[in-house]
Amino acid sequence: VTSGPTFEPLDPVRFLGNRSSGKQGHAIAEALALAGAQVTLVSGPVSEPPPRFVETVRIGTAQEMLDACLKALPVDIAVCAAAVADFRPEDVADKKIKKSGKDPMTVKLVQNPDILATLSQSNQRPKLVVGFAAETNDGMENAKAKLAKKGCDWLVLNDVGGGKVFGQENNIITLLKQNGSAETWPEMGKREVARGLVAEMAKLLKA
Ligand code: CTP
């Protein structure tokens, strides 16, 4: 299970990151462990405490998250709940960058590896790969396209428009599957969402 943000350094004191509390990912890791799974949680910088009964690997950057995920293979299930930074500064300064007058600054960004897509295409592909989509608009449309593009089996869509979801206790999700089904669940706590998803995973692995 991946969870939390990734922080991409710009210099020793600054980074590029994103809003993710890690609450949903951590809750899924814990729910899986309580259901009897052996769980590795690969977590970016969060204040959420490491869940019980789970091996937690702490990382900083997207590249470190990918390395930790590949090291954890083979697994039966991969859940990518992390809010990975899509880009990182191309150059990382080894000293704090100073202002030079009022000149505007340009930072060149390069793309980070896509962990979900890499796991979905791996020759050690897990039996079930679950991605998340945080969308502010046109959620269903974007989520369907993402499911096809990333090659995962399920996609959990949450609407993050207007400050919803990030850091909050509750979540409203739509679970989309490769077979075309899409089910919107009523609003519930992130722990309850986690238990629901784990129940679905157990059903699938049993079948
Ligand atoms: N993800 C990933 N590695 C990345 C970017 C995203 O593993 N470098 C995963 C996330 O963990 C999530 C899913 O991909 O499960 C979708 O993330 P999201 O940020 O919604 O999508 P992006 O691929 O970044 O697409 P876009 O920014 O264009 O919406």
* pLDDT, average across residues 25-42: 98
- Residue 117 CA, closest ligand 1 atom number: 7
Return mean pLDDT, the chain. 94
Between the CA of 5 and the centroid of ligand 1 the distance, in Å, is 11
Residue 164 has pLDDT above 70, yes or no: no
Ligand 1 pocket check for 7: Cβ under 6 Å: no
pLDDT at 107: 94
Instruction: Indicate if the pLDDT at residue 165 is higher than 60.
Output: no
Give per-residue pLDDT as tens, 102-135. 888 899 999 999 999 999 999 999 999 999 998 8
Q: Point out the catalytic residue in the list 18, 112, 137, 179.
A: 18
Question: What six digits make up the tokens of 126?
Answer: 């897990």
Q: What is the structure's pLDDT at 135?
A: 86
Give tens-digit pLDDT for 67-86. Answer: 999 999 999 999 999 999 99
CA of 98 to the centre of ligand 1 (A): 32
Q: What is the mean pLDDT of residues 30-57?
A: 98
Q: Residues 153-158: what's their mean pLDDT?
A: 95
Confidence band, pLDDT 50/70/90 cuts, at residue 64: very high
Token couple for 179: 């077979």
Tokens of 46: 């969060």
* More confident call, 159 vs 198: 198
Res. 169 pLDDT band, cuts 50 70 90: confident
- Predicted confidence band of residue 162 (pLDDT cuts 50, 70, 90): low
User: Mean pLDDT across the stretch 167-181?
Assistant: 90
pTM score above 0.75: yes
Q: Tell me, in angstroms, the distance from the centre of ligand 1 to residue 58's CA.
A: 19
Question: 154 CB under 6 A from ligand 1?
Answer: no
Instruction: Tell me the pLDDT band of 167, cut-offs 50, 70 and 90.
Output: low
Overall average pLDDT of the 174-184 stretch:
95
59 lines ligand 1 (CB under 6 A): no
179 is catalytic: no
* % of the chain with per-residue pLDDT over 70: 97
